[in-house]
Amino acid sequence: GENVEQHPSTLSVQEGDSAVIKCTYSDSASNYFPWYKQELGKGPQLIIDIRSNVGEKKDQRIAVTLNKTAKHFSLHITETQPEDSAVYFCAASTGGYQKVTFGTGTKLQVIP
C-alpha cells in the first residue's frame, strides 16, 4: 500500500517568514495530493491540493509543488501569520474510491 512520509515533525518560524513542509510517497499510481490543516479539537480542513498532471499550484500565500519522478511534494506558506499555527498533513490518493493516505503531520508554530 501507499506510504507517505512527512518532515519536519515540528517547525517554528517568525511571523512574516516562509515555512516549507516536505513529503514523499511510495506508490507511483498516486495521482492526487491534498494538504490539510488541523486545528486543535477540529477535523482536518483541506487547504490546497494538486493533481499529478500539474507541477505547481498557488493560492494566495500557499503553494504546492509536485515532482512525480522523485515522488516528492511540498507545501510552501509565505508571509506566515499567527493564525497559520496548526498541524499540517500531506496526503496521497490513487483516485478511484479516493482512499487517502496521510503523512504523520507537521506542527507549525508561527511566533509573533
Residues at the site binding other proteins, with contacts judged by CB under 8 A: 4, 6, 32, 34, 36, 41-46, 49, 89, 91, 93, 95, 97-105
Cβ–Cβ contacts within 10 Å for residue 95, how many?
12
Strand pairing partners for 9?
A: none
Cβ nearer to other proteins, comparing 12 with 18 = 12
- Of the two residues 3 and 18, which places its CB atom closer to other proteins in the complex? 3
CB of 91 to other proteins, least distance (A): 7
SS3 content of the chain, % helix, strand, coil (to 5): 5, 55, 40
Q: Give the nearer residue to other proteins in terms of CB position, either 69 or 97.
A: 97
